Structure 1
Amino acid sequence: MLTPLQKYLVEKITLSEEELLLIDSVSILKKIRKKQFLFEAGEVWKYNAFVCRGLVKTFSVDKNGKEHIINFSPENYWFGDRDSLTNNTPSKFNIDAIEDSEIILIKKEDFEMLCHKIPSLNNLVNTILQKSFVVSQKRIHDSISLAAEEKYQNFLDSHPSLINRIPQHMIGAYLGITPETITRIRRNSNK
């Protein structure tokens, strides 16, 4: 029986039984409860992480205690702090669970070994990083260019499976708009 990570990978690339066992041998399963922190700002992020089940968020908190959500990561998503991982610097971000979640963690050095020994995995990682960069550029552009209604509609269009899993105030913290604005947008769209 394949793990969720193995199933995800074999849908994307061809892997031998030995390669699957190698991946499994360096995979650490971590279960976190709803509202439990996986990681806190100030620590150095040392993993490549994959969501097997559940939903996590990556966020920062400003000096006034306001939450700014950088990313939502549901099942079959990779997540983490790329800057902290790459540069071995303290992270600005926290990661916690929106739902009870199961995460696979692979230490940086183990992940690098996997990418070296499994070229198809390395190619997949490069493809994912390129897509992530494009998504980040679009998100930055949208956040500085679009009206609140357009940001919210883009979120609905991009993440239809998440809309009922994420509280309204968190969607607002992700989009940079208040929950009251989301309520107004929803009310106006129902007219």
Structure 2
Amino acid sequence: MKILQNKMPQNLILKNVSKHISLDENEISYFLSILTEKKYPKKSIILKEGEICRSINFVLSGTLRSFYRDSEGKESTIMFAAADWWITDMACFINQQPAMLNIETIEESLILQLKKEDLDNLYIKIPKFERFFRIIMQNAYIREQVRVIQNLSLSAEQRYYIFLEKYPEVSKQIKQKQIASYLGITPEFLSMIRANKK
């Protein structure tokens, strides 16, 4: 596969990887060669529930969200991903099963995709990437565990303030109903919280 020519994607993802592992020039070259750069317009569905989840995605620019849609069509936002974040339906990606989640772009987004078979080969060719993705997955697990505990122990208002601290830029790009679905409250109740904040 063609190595990324644009320096911006190279620099951003290599900086992300370097937080946890160090690569030599050959390892960098191989890693970049298995990534696919894709640009998506606003409101593009990059993963639809029921499809096999074939890739993990690194966000270069833009904002994405993953969400679950129940049988009545109600959406619950699971997470947001801005630049320098990874996003996928992890359980379905690892097991190559139909996706439980949808992933869409909130605004025009540029992402790098890494397919499951390429990731498996990467682990064999450059074993230190097992450490990198283990840390990524551990951090994701911790983040979700903390979120569940916050949902059980904190008020909606407290969770909203935490959201604003965690996603300061994302919060400016997304609709109120998407924030509400992430917090597990109605848009009307979120409006009341925001009104009280002023």
TM-score, L = length of structure 2: 0.89
Q: Which amino acid aligns with 1:58?
A: S
**Match of residue 22, structure 2, among 3, 10, 14:** 14
Q: CA deviation at 1:62?
A: 1.6
Whether 1:79 aligns to 2:87 is: yes
Q: Which residue of 1 aligns with 2:49?
A: 41
1:34-183 matched pairs, under 5 angstroms = 34-183=42-191
SS in structure 2 of the partner of residue 163 of structure 1:
helix
Whether 1:187 aligns to 2:195 is: yes
Equivalent residues of 2:45, 2:102 under 8 A apart: yes
Pairs aligned (count): 190
SS in structure 1 of the partner of residue 123 of structure 2:
helix
Q: CA deviation at 1:8?
A: 2.5
What CA distance in whole angstroms lies between the structure 2 residues aligned with 1:68 and 1:45? 19
Q: CA deviation at 1:90?
A: 1.2
CA distance change for structure 1 residues 120 and 87 in 2, over 3 Å: closer, same or farther? closer
What CA distance in whole angstroms lies between the structure 1 residues aligned with 2:151 and 2:126? 37
SS in structure 2 of the partner of residue 51 of structure 1:
strand
CA distance change for structure 1 residues 131 and 11 in 2, over 3 Å: closer, same or farther? closer
SS in structure 2 of the partner of residue 99 of structure 1:
coil
Whether 1:26 aligns to 2:34 is: yes
What CA distance in whole angstroms lies between the structure 2 residues aligned with 1:77 and 1:158? 13
Unaligned segments of structure 2, at least 5 residues = 1-6
Q: Which amino acid aligns with 2:165?
A: D
Output the aligned Cα RMSD: 1.6
What CA distance in whole angstroms lies between the structure 1 residues aligned with 2:145 and 2:16? 25
SS in structure 2 of the partner of residue 71 of structure 1:
strand
Unaligned segments of structure 1, at least 5 residues = none
Q: Which amino acid aligns with 1:69?
A: T
Q: CA deviation at 1:12?
A: 4.3
Equivalent residues of 2:47, 2:99 under 8 A apart: no
Q: Which amino acid aligns with 2:123?
A: C
How many percent of aligned residue pairs carry the same amino acid? 34
SS in structure 1 of the partner of residue 72 of structure 2:
coil
What CA distance in whole angstroms lies between the structure 1 residues aligned with 2:77 and 2:192? 21
What CA distance in whole angstroms lies between the structure 1 residues aligned with 2:44 and 2:167? 23
TM-score, L = length of structure 1: 0.92
Equivalent residues of 1:48, 1:111 under 8 A apart: no
